[in-house]
Structure formats: C-alpha cells, structure tokens
Structure 1
Amino acid sequence: MKSIVDGPCEESASPEAAIPEESVIVISDDEAEVSLGLGNSVLIVEDREDSFVQERKTLEVVDEELAITFSRKAHVMPHARYDCSTHPFSRMEQETQIPIEKNASFCDECYCYLCDKPASECSNWTTPDYCHCNAHNKSKHWKGERDTALAGVLTIFNLDLTEIDSELREAGDKLQYFLLQLEQVYNKYLDGAMGMRESVERCGCLCHKAKTAKCKAECAFKHSLVKFHNYTDVHKVVTDFINQVDEGSPRASAVMLLGVAKELVYHKVLENPLSLQDPVAHVKQSTAVLMTRIVSTLQRLLVLKDYPKILYDKFVSFFQSLRLPPHLFTFTSSLNVLRWDNCLLTSVLAGQNLTGYRTNKGKKECLWEALTVVQSRVKKLEEEKSYRQLVRYLNVVKCSENAGLTALKQKLCLYMCKYGDFSLAAQSLLTTKGMQGSIAKYFTPVLYEFHLTMLRVRSCPPGNELQLPEVWVPQTGELLKKGMLVRTALRILYTNSHLFNNSLCWSILVKVWCTCDKPSKEGRLFPLCLHEPDRLVQQTMMHMSCAVLDELQRQANVHLPGPFHTSYSGTAELVLIVQAVVRYLMTANPPLGGLMKLITAFGPNHWALSLLIEGISPMQELLFQFVTSINKELYEEELQTLALFKTRGPSYVSQLMAVFLLHLSDGVRSIGFHLLDIVLRNLTSIPWTGTVANNLTTNVVPFLHTVRVSSAEHQKLVGVIGRLMTG
C-alpha cells in the first residue's frame, strides 16, 4: 500500500508537520469530492504491501507511461477528521446530538474542523447537542459554525474570512471583551437599585422634623425606599469605549462603533417612580447622545477614509439592518453617505452640474448631506487642495443645519482666491449662492480686514484658516477691475450695520488702502505712500464722492467717475474712503472712539488725514468731539502712542504733528502740542528728537502765520523745539 498525502485543507489550518525530503506530496485545489469517497485533504493510491518491506530502487514499469524508480511508505500528515483515511467518516447536513456511527474515532493526526486543534484536545468532540466530531466542510450548518468560531463577533457584519485580517480580528476581540463588560453593567441597570425618594425629590413638608409618630406617618411615603433604574454607569462604560475607538484605525474603528450601535438599540427603557435629573440616567436621552457621537464618527470615517467598496457597503448595510427603537428613528438614514464615485457628487465636483439636482429613473435627487458629512468632505478637499471643486460643492450642497453650512461657506472667498479667481471672490462677498444675502453679513471686524487685505494684495494665507497671517502667499490670477474692490468694501459696511457702527472697521478700510498692493518677497505687507493731488483735484474728488456714496447705499453696481479709472485710481479711491469716513463721523453717536487707530491707519498719507480733518471742520460740534476724543485717547494710551512713534520713526512723527499744528482751529492744534508733550516726557528713550526738531523748524515754524497762531502758541512751539534739539 502506497499513500500520496497532501496537507490539511484550506479551511482546516493546523500546525505543519515535518515533511521528509523523500516524501511524495500532492497538493490538490479541487474542492469537489474525489472518486474514492474521501475529502480533499488525503488521497490514497493502492499498491502492494510487500513493496514497503524495504526501499526499492529497481526500475518497475507500471505501464507504458509511468515507471516507479523509488518508493517508501508515506507519513500521514495532519488532516481534518472528515478526511481521515484510517477511520471512515459519515456525513450529514446537521447532526449535533450524538456522534454519527464511527465519527468519534480519530487517529493521531486528526484535527477538529471547528476548533482547529487536534481532536484529542477538542473539549466538544462528543458533547451532546454540539458534537464537533460530526463537523465537515460540505455542510452549511457546520461551515457557518466554523466561520463563527474563526471570526467571532465579526460574523454579525457578514464579512468573508478573506476580508478579516489581523487588524479586524483584534478589533473583534476588543469588541467582544467590551460586550462582556457592557452586559454586566447593563444587567445591573435592569435589576435596579434601591434608593430614598428624598434623594431625587426633596420633601416639602416640615412635619418629619417634629419627631412625633403622627408626623412620621404623614410623610413616610416621601421618605420611603424605592427602586431606581439608573443608566448612568452604562453610559460611562460606552463612552469610555468610544474614546478608545477614536484612537484606532479606520476599519477597526468602524467595526467597534457599529458593534456598540447594535447593542444600544436593544437596551430597554425602564420607567422610574421619579424622574432622575441627570439626562444620561435615562435610556432615551443617553442612547441618543451616544448614537449621535457614533454616527458622526462613522460619517467622518466613510468620507475621509478609503474603504474598499465591498467593506463600505457591508458597513452601511449592517447599520441599515438595525431595528431602531422610536427614540432613535432620526438615525435611520444617517449612514446613507454618498461614496466619492457617486454620479451626482462627481458631476457636481466636475462642474457639470451647477444645481445639485438630477433626475434618476423619474425621481428627482438632491445633493443633501448631513453637516458632519459636509464638514468631512470640505476637510478632505482642503487637504487635497481641490479648491475649485470645493467651491462647486459648497455652492450646491443642501443641509438641514443651516448655521453650520453657513460657517463653512464663509471660506468661499478664500477658496476662490486660492485658485486665482479674485473677481468672483469679491462678488461672493455681496452675493453668495445658496444663501439669503451674503456671507459678509456674518463678518466680524477681523474677517472684514482679512478679506479686504486678501483681495487687495491678491495673496492668501499659507493655510486654510480665516486668520490674518504673518506671511502672505501671492496667487496668480486676473487683476480686479478698477474700483471693484472699493465698491465692495463700502457696500459691505452699508449692508452690515454691525460693521458700519464700529469705528475699527473704518480704520481697517483706511489701513488696507494705505498698504502696498503686493507683498514683499518674504510675504510681508508694508505701508503705501499714495500720490498727493493738488488741492483743487482733492476738492473735486471729494465732491464727486458724495454722489458715488449715495448710490452705494442703494446698490452695489455703481458707475465710478473718470478719476477712478486712471493711473491715479488709488488716490481717487482713498479720497472716496475719506469722504465715507466723514459721513460716518457725522452719523456716529458720541463719544467717538478708536480715533487714534483711524489717524494712524493713514500711514504716510498725511494729506489724506488733513483732508479728513478739513471735511469735518465746518461742523463745530463734531470737530469738538473729534478733538476731545483724540486728546482723551492720547492721555489714556500714551505708551501705545510712544511705541508707534518708535516704530515709524522721526519723519512720520514730525509730519503727523505738522498736520495738527498747521490747522486753523486751535482745538486741532492742541492735538499737535499733546503729541509734542509725549515726546518731551520720553526724551531719554527717543534717540531722534533732534531730527524731529529740525523737521518742525523747516516745515512748520515758517508757516505758523498762515494759520494765525497766537504768540503764546508760537513761543511754546519754539521752546519745545529747543528742548528737542538739546535732547
């Protein structure tokens, strides 16, 4: 007898035995029954017994095509019990009660089909109602039992064994261990615990303090022991497990979270004699909170992680198969998350669908997604720097949580600038698709400055946050039409009363137009000195600006006069802004605030500051408020003013003083003297006071007679200049 033996079948993994070099091994992939009636892990070839008495090395011709030159009795390899060549095996579809015929017998190399260990070590080999000795690979029942034994709790996800790797197997083990813990805590919830009524609802009567039998009887009910079913411990155990899940890998996290969700839907709602004050003490509130967190995490995972389609569909199908109780009905379709290759989604991202609607088999579909899904898609597209697709998506996607979607749409202007469409970005500040009004109505002063600066310098921050960066990154793209940005900036102020009434926003507006329209090579922004037109041109531009501002208060598309389209358009725009600031000061409620920020926002453009003061000078009451507010701020913020002086240097300081000292109003001149006093009080910390003195001597003193300065003021100024000279 000669046997040709292969290893255990694919389904019965077992330790490998040592194979002598001389053994003849045949590996068969055929899963069908062999003609000899055995399984697929052993194949017997009959021969004469006396051929194994000794090794035969002589040539023996069996037929014309086959010759045996050497043979030796083969070693029996480990095999499943149903493939044993020594002990016959009887097959039945499902027999678990008792061993069938001689199925309980086994040789030394027989392995249990279910346990994957030697039959001699199987604890359920002949156990009534669960006889492992009858198990074989042609039975649906036993194959299912084997899959359950190998996959454990993962079988609930309908995963094939080929889809379960070490990562998922570890996740299944963690889930199984958690379910055992959860069962213990949940059983305690079901059993309930005794507690005093007064621990939940304080007794309102005073009779129990009297120590009399009658009083005790009257309020005994309110101080009796009752059974409570408190879900708090269950909530804590589940929360702790979810915290651990968040740190895991995507596939493992999905498995564990879905396993938790399956358990939560079966938790019973038990009534309590009194309502517990802690929301998580109740099943309905607690499971809703936990399910919200589970679903949100799963939605993020499905969008951000690249799950294989088969695994993706199985996870979604599993959640859809859960029979949610009434208090969790809102989560029924929460995992119906569109894959990235969905036709509607891909057409929107590609720009082929600009509405977010399509008709599929007679039904109208809409690109509607939960806020968590939208946030996740935005995050992924940001990471991929797919800003054009991101704009298309946000323009059409619908969401039930409008506040959250609006917050995401506030970045639309940034995304458009990222791919160089500055004109569309400016338009989006006034009209945002899919929103009532525009995103500008949600602006804060910081966001207002961020967007104006970004459009002005045609640059973006390195990241994707709406924060003023230290370094700006230039973007390629077409220039904005002349006048478009200033119209947009003013229109935002006129349509957003919160910004209009904030003096900081007007300072920001001036500052942006007094900043260079291109960042340096290092990405820094520097002040811009605009051309100073002659006095007649300034007055003409101020007059034309009145009509422009009147129109801007009514509509955004306003025709700008000729000067706004010439090479001096920047100067004309600054004059328009000065006129707008004058109008703001005329309508602002006293006391005026933030005026020093407004004054310093002009930077080196002192002619524009003089034009502003000239614009409010005819209104004596407004001029008085203006002077009073500035002097008050200089007194309260002297250190800040001194720091600004040190940063900008002597030329700026002397020119700023000249603006006030050469004004016709003695009140305005008092501001100039106040600035001089600040310098005098800090002579030791300012090294360039002599330069300031020289500038004042050259540019101020010779012209004092033109503003009819009193002799006292003249003497004071000359004395201060002398002290500045000596340091």
Structure 2
Amino acid sequence: MRSGGEGPSEENESFEATVPEESVIVISDDEGDVSLGLGNSVLLIEDAGDGSLVEEKKVLEVLDEEIAITFSKKAHVMPHARYDCSTHPFVRTEQETQIPIEVNASFCAECYCYLCDKPASECSYWTVFSGCHCNAHNKSKYWKEQRDGALAGVLTIFNLDLTEIDSELREGGNLLESFLSELPPVYRQYLEGTVMTRDSIGQCSCACHKAKRRYKCNICALHHAETRVHTYKQVHTLVIDYLSKADKESPKTTAVMLLGAAKELVSHRPLPCPFLFKDPTANFKEASLHLMTRIVTTLQNLLVVANYPPNLHEKFVWFFQSIPLPPHCYSLINCLNVLRWDNCFLTSVLAGQNLSGVRTNKGKKEFLWEPMTVVQARVQRLGNEHSYRQLVRYLNAVRSTNMAGLNFLKQKLCFYMCKYGDFTSAAHSLLQIKGMQGSISSLLTPAQFELYMTMLRTKSCPPGEEPAGQELCTVHEGIPVKKGVLVRIALRILFCNNKLLYEPKCWSALVRIWCTSEHLSKEGKLVPFCIYEPDKILQRMVMEMSCSILDELLRQTNVHLPDPFHKPSSWIAAELILIVQAVVRFMMTSLSPLKGMLELVLSFGCNHWALSLLIEGVCFMQKLLFNFINNLNKELCEEEHNVIDVFRTRGPVYVSQLVSLFLLHINEGLRSVGFHIIDILLRNSSKIPWTPVLGNNLKNSVLSNGSSYLGSAVERQKLVANIESLTAQS
C-alpha cells in the first residue's frame, strides 16, 4: 500500500509487501449494520488462489494510486451465528417457529444456534415443530426476546435488560432456580396432607376418660377419629433455611432471591384443616404471613442500606407490587414504597430545609411517614457515614406507627448532637424532645447519666456509634453549654427520675464531674480539677440561695440563678455548692440505709472545702450523721484495696488533707474515720512508699503550728503514736 499521488518509478519497479500467512477475520457487533460480506458476525476476504502461497512476494493489483492489494488468502471460517453463514444461505423472517424456512436447517461445522449459544449440531430444538431455532436471527424482535429470555433465565421475571445483569444478579437467579426446584416436592406433601388424630397433637380432656365409661361420647369419638390434615411446617422450614442463606449474600443477590421466593409463596393456597396446630409454623396463614413479613422487612432494609442503581431499585419495587398478595397478606401491599435517598421530600429534611417533616402537596398535607424497619435502616446508614447532623434532623421529622421503637431511637439524639458539637441542644434534648412521649431523662440508667454529664461538661464524645464506654475523645469544636445551664439540667434530670434520684452512684458521679476539668488531656482522659475555695461569706450566701433554687428545680428547669452563678471568679464554686446542698437533701430524704458514702467522699478529689460543707450539712441531724459515719467506716473495711489504690494515685498531700479534715472535727465519730484511714495506711505501708512524708504532713497540720486537737488526751496519745509509726516507715 502506498499513499500519495506518484506512480511507479522509471525502472517500473512494482510495489511489493510481505504478508504473513494468518487469516484475516473481522467480527462485527450483533447490532451493527455492517453491509460488507454476507452477515453481521463475519467479514471474509475472497480467495486469491492457493498458488499465492508458493511465492513469498507477489503483486496482485494496483487499484489506484492510494491502495494496492499485494496478497490474499482464503480465510479460516470461525464460529458464527447460523444467519451469518457464508456456506449456506439464510432467509430472514420476523417469526416462524413451525417449520424450517427453505434451507435454514442446513448448517456448516462452525454454525451456532442464536438462542442456545451452542453448535447447531447440538441444538435440541433446531428443527422441532413450534420451536425451530434454525430460523432465529438478530433482526427479529421475537427471536431477540427469546434469546434474552434464554440468557437471563429466571431473571426475566424482573424485566431486566441484559446490560443490567451482572454476576451478583446472575448468582441470585441461579440460587433462586435451585430453590424453585426444591420447593415443589415439599409443597406437594403439604397438599397431599397426613392422616392423623387430634390426640396425636393434644391430649384429649373429655370427661369420658375420667368416668371410664364403656361407650365414649360423640366429642371424644371425634377427637380420636382419624382425619387428613395439612401442615405447612416443612414448607416453612425449607423457606426459612433459604432466607437465611439469602441474608449472607450480596445485596443484589439477596433481593433477587427474596423477591423470587415471595412470588412463589403467594401462589400457595390454604387448605381446610379441622383444627389449628399449636405450632404457628404448621398453620398455613400464620406461617405464610411470617415468611412474607420477613421477606418484606429484609427488602426494606436493603432498599435503604444498599446502593442499588435507580433503575434496579424501581424494578424491584415494581416487581413486588405486581405480585397478587393473598388477603391475609394485604397489610404488606405498599411496604416496599420506600423513598429513595434522592427523593426531594427526604432530601429537604436531611438538608435542614424542612425541619417539621410536613409539606403541602396539591392542597393536602403530607408527612414523612416511614415503617420502623426503614427508619432503623436510615439511622444505621447515616450513623455509619457519620452524617450525625442529618441523622438528628431525620429523627426529629420522621413519623412511624411504631412509636415505642421511634422513641427508643430518639434516646440517642443527645449522643448524636454531641458528635457534631451542638452541646447546648444536646443538653436540652435530655429533658424535652418534640414529638417524643416522655423524655430521655426518665429512661436514663445511672451509667448513661454519668456518661452524658461527662460529655456535656467536657465537650467530648466516646468513639463508636453507641453512648457507652469510659474512654472519651474530643469532637470537633462546638459551642459549649452556657454557665448555669448544665447544672440545672443535671439536677432536674435527677428530680424527674426516681431511679436516679435515690441512687448514690448518680450523686457521686455528679460531684466527680464538677470536680473535673472542662478540658480533657491529650490522651482523651479526664483531668482532676481543684476549684479555688471561695470566701466564707460567699459560701454562706450561696448555701442560703440553694434551698430556694432546689425547690424551684423540683417544678421546672428554667430557674433563675443569682449573680454568683454567672461571675467568672465564682460560678464553678457556686455550682459545686449547689450540688453539695442537693446531695445533703438526698441524704436527708433517702429511705434506704445510706450506701456508697466512700465513693461520695472520694469523688470530691482535692476539693476538701466542698467535702467539709457536706459534712457540716449532715452534722445537724444526729441519726443521719450516725448512718453516714457507720457506712463510711464499713465501706473502708470492705474496699480497703481500692482505697489504697486511690491513695497511691493521688499522693501524700491529698491523703494528709483528707485525714486532717476528719481528725480536726469536733465530732468524735468523724474523728474515728480519720483514725480508721491511718490504720489502713499502717497495714498497707509496704505498698505506699511515701508514708513518712504523710506522717510529717500530719504532724504539721494536726499536732503543731498552733493546731488545737479537739479530742481527749487518750485520743491525742494514740494519734501521736500512729503518726510516729507512719513517719518511721521506710
């Protein structure tokens, strides 16, 4: 081949080219309109004669100055459709299935059946009457539909194009076909029934058995008479196993398996049965409804969680709607009308453009109303995608017939709000959520109460999708809860929930949280916080204010807090004093013996001035003080190892201040607590390396520097001996 406008050279040299001996074959697209050659699947170059093989180079013809054919060879015929055969002519018709047309039944060794995709010699329907595959070709609508049906198999019931069928859908079709071959024999057994008597299912309770009559009454005879019954249990068991296998497959495969099973199940018919079985899976209507409900709920979840293409989503829904459901399944008719994620109503809610979940369409109000299975699936997917802001908007707007299930999901709204940093809204959500019956506060457990208060206090949130665990991590920056708001909400929650109100652990947790820094460590851990002790006048003033504040909090949340609760220099101390007064009130009204007093004392951390206020509040009631001291000493004995671990962590300064607080008190019972702590330290001195430092600190704080020990001479002598023992430890 040569391009250009020049002819042969002066020496009349011919243009030559070396061509390999391989055949030249062009395969065209089935749908193309290639007019070269005889058909659409093969293009042949005519034979140049076998003699051309003898010469390595041979010039055949120069067609023009642009193109020259230098070599040709007869092509090797490759496998092809019958209608493209170059050996046997083919006559095309739109639809002829009765007999072969002219010579269409003839074929060469490489001819393939258009429908079966196998050699024509192996086609079982090549010339069969009313079949005649030899007449099939790709230009006929009828034969193309037949071919598509043959290739798609059982998937043709879903009206899928061949381009839409991938490996997952095909696998679902294969598993469905296998199930459809296993089900008929089992269903046939149900139709045939089994001969049995009533007493084989349940014991006869007729009076004839008790009276031992010779002749049985009619009722008893009927009970023992043989009758044919139809039990659906074997069908139910087979279908349940199949559905369980489907749940383990990919989303597309599962959908095909479930929809195909649903179409088959609705074709089953109930048969009369003289009595009902105790096992619901044996009764046709109950078992059938159970199976269809399971299929529908799984499909609802898949339509939300799985990323089906829009066309496939619509075809799945259309297929289910085309199934003629029996009367006992009418409640499932519209169950698959699930809004797609790109639905304008749903997207407006998720984007925050419609916060109420209500819109007006053609003068009528429409609500965002979805089944609980769909709501759960949307919550799961939004949570997995960390779309917490959209998740909160959705839960606030959506409605469902299952109010209990919806309220259960709304319990985590506070957690989701903390995930994206809206701590103020999260705090208020614990007390009131629009559209929710009751409040989250009435459902909280002590562990959840502590976790939520810690999250709101430190602007943090645990990892994962559940509000559980003690490890906290800081979320992205958000607006913190305003001063005075969180303490009011915390106390209001306790007053609204009696389970929390009379649980000592909740009060200990509340004190511990307010004695913790608002900022976590770099590792995401809580940091103890020492609050500067306010002057005595401020302490007394806040304590007097606290009584009326607590009375108001018993009735409402929006209680006005005085100036000390808003000043930067005193607000945190004022809140802690308010909490201390609330703890004293709890101890006064507690009906059961006081428990958890050791945990309460340790929860104050290094804020001994606040612990002193608590003790002073208890001292006015002798019975309450007696119970407090007895329980504290008892718990010191029972939890000695835990006490030592806490002391070792907090160090000698903390322990000396705590012991001094009790030893310097005027009440003999409270001084006994100090002696008890020293005895514990002496017994475990080998585990504590800093006991000498502790002894010296106690000398300075209790026995010297003008401190006047208020105990008797005997007590003082014992105390001196104990302190000397601590100092002498090595």
TM-score if structure 1 supplies the norm length?
0.88
What's the offset of the Cα at 1:506? 1.0
**C-alpha separation between the residues in 2 aligned to 1:704 and 1:720?**
20
What's the offset of the Cα at 1:507? 1.0
**Which deviates more from structure 2 when the two are superposed, residues 681-690 or residues 432-441?**
681-690
Which residue in the other structure is 2:17 paired with? none
**C-alpha separation between the residues in 1 aligned to 2:156 and 2:136?**
19
Q: How does 1:279-290 map to 2 (within 5 A)?
A: 279-290=280-291
What's the offset of the Cα at 1:692? 3.1
- 1:126 aligns to 2:108 (yes or no): no
**Which deviates more from structure 2 when the two are superposed, residues 147-156 or residues 136-145?**
136-145
Please say if residues 590 and 625 of structure 1, whose CA atoms lie closer than 8 Å, have aligned partners that are also in contact.
Answer: no
**C-alpha separation between the residues in 2 aligned to 1:528 and 1:259?**
64
**C-alpha separation between the residues in 2 aligned to 1:213 and 1:79?**
86
**C-alpha separation between the residues in 2 aligned to 1:209 and 1:555?**
67
What's the offset of the Cα at 1:721? 2.7
* Cα deviation digits, residues 448-469 of structure 1 (max 9, x gap): 1111111111122232320133
Identity, % of aligned positions: 58
Q: How does 1:591-670 map to 2 (within 5 A)?
A: 591-670=593-672
- 1:449 aligns to 2:450 (yes or no): yes
Q: How does 1:508-519 map to 2 (within 5 A)?
A: 508-519=509-520
* AA aligned opposite 1:657: V
Which residue in the other structure is 2:8 paired with? none
1:466/1:249 Cα in 2 relative to 1: closer, same or farther (>3 Å)?
same
Q: SS of 2:467's equivalent?
A: coil
**Which deviates more from structure 2 when the two are superposed, residues 662-671 or residues 612-621?**
662-671
Q: SS of 1:529's equivalent?
A: coil
Which residue in the other structure is 1:334 paired with? 335
* AA aligned opposite 1:632: K
Q: How does 1:260-659 map to 2 (within 5 A)?
A: 260-566=261-567, 567-659=569-661
What's the offset of the Cα at 1:395? 1.6
Please say if residues 458 and 475 of structure 1, whose CA atoms lie closer than 8 Å, have aligned partners that are also in contact.
Answer: no
What's the offset of the Cα at 1:251? 1.6
Which residue in the other structure is 1:6 paired with? none
* Cα deviation digits, residues 260-313 of structure 1 (max 9, x gap): 222222222234333222222223332333333322322222222222111111
1:505/1:271 Cα in 2 relative to 1: closer, same or farther (>3 Å)?
farther
**C-alpha separation between the residues in 2 aligned to 1:436 and 1:44?**
79
**C-alpha separation between the residues in 1 aligned to 2:278 and 2:22?**
76
Please say if residues 157 and 314 of structure 1, whose CA atoms lie closer than 8 Å, have aligned partners that are also in contact.
Answer: yes
Please say if residues 474 and 519 of structure 1, whose CA atoms lie closer than 8 Å, have aligned partners that are also in contact.
Answer: no
Which residue in the other structure is 1:693 paired with? 695
**C-alpha separation between the residues in 2 aligned to 1:193 and 1:137?**
53
**C-alpha separation between the residues in 1 aligned to 2:306 and 2:122?**
43
Please say if residues 417 and 475 of structure 1, whose CA atoms lie closer than 8 Å, have aligned partners that are also in contact.
Answer: no
Q: How does 1:132-151 map to 2 (within 5 A)?
A: 132-151=133-152
* AA aligned opposite 1:606: H
Please say if residues 584 and 618 of structure 2, whose CA atoms lie closer than 8 Å, have aligned partners that are also in contact.
Answer: yes
Please say if residues 417 and 458 of structure 1, whose CA atoms lie closer than 8 Å, have aligned partners that are also in contact.
Answer: yes
**C-alpha separation between the residues in 2 aligned to 1:149 and 1:634?**
82
1:447/1:280 Cα in 2 relative to 1: closer, same or farther (>3 Å)?
same
**C-alpha separation between the residues in 1 aligned to 2:219 and 2:557?**
76
What's the offset of the Cα at 1:447? 1.2
* Cα deviation digits, residues 234-274 of structure 1 (max 9, x gap): 22222222222222222222212222222222222234333
- 1:175 aligns to 2:176 (yes or no): yes
* AA aligned opposite 1:379: Q
Q: SS of 2:228's equivalent?
A: strand
**C-alpha separation between the residues in 1 aligned to 2:464 and 2:249?**
27
Aligned partner of 1:715 among 702, 714, 717: 717
**C-alpha separation between the residues in 2 aligned to 1:723 and 1:65?**
116
**C-alpha separation between the residues in 1 aligned to 2:621 and 2:683?**
33
What's the offset of the Cα at 1:572? 1.0
* AA aligned opposite 2:464: G
Please say if residues 93 and 139 of structure 1, whose CA atoms lie closer than 8 Å, have aligned partners that are also in contact.
Answer: yes
Which residue in the other structure is 1:245 paired with? 246
TM-score if structure 2 supplies the norm length?
0.88
Which residue in the other structure is 1:4 paired with? none
* AA aligned opposite 2:500: L
Q: SS of 1:700's equivalent?
A: helix
Which residue in the other structure is 1:8 paired with? none
1:524/1:63 Cα in 2 relative to 1: closer, same or farther (>3 Å)?
closer
Q: SS of 2:366's equivalent?
A: strand
Aligned partner of 2:679 among 677, 680, 684: 677
Which residue in the other structure is 1:227 paired with? 228
What's the offset of the Cα at 1:215? 6.8
What's the offset of the Cα at 1:574? 0.4
1:693/1:324 Cα in 2 relative to 1: closer, same or farther (>3 Å)?
same
**C-alpha separation between the residues in 2 aligned to 1:134 and 1:102?**
10
**C-alpha separation between the residues in 1 aligned to 2:40 and 2:622?**
107
Unpaired stretches in structure 2, ≥5 consecutive residues: 1-19
**C-alpha separation between the residues in 2 aligned to 1:246 and 1:548?**
57
Unpaired stretches in structure 1, ≥5 consecutive residues: 1-18
**Which deviates more from structure 2 when the two are superposed, residues 145-154 or residues 253-262?**
253-262
**C-alpha separation between the residues in 2 aligned to 1:23 and 1:499?**
87
Q: What's the Cα RMSD here? A: 3.3
1:693/1:270 Cα in 2 relative to 1: closer, same or farther (>3 Å)?
farther
**C-alpha separation between the residues in 2 aligned to 1:593 and 1:198?**
59
What's the offset of the Cα at 1:573? 0.8
Please say if residues 25 and 43 of structure 2, whose CA atoms lie closer than 8 Å, have aligned partners that are also in contact.
Answer: no
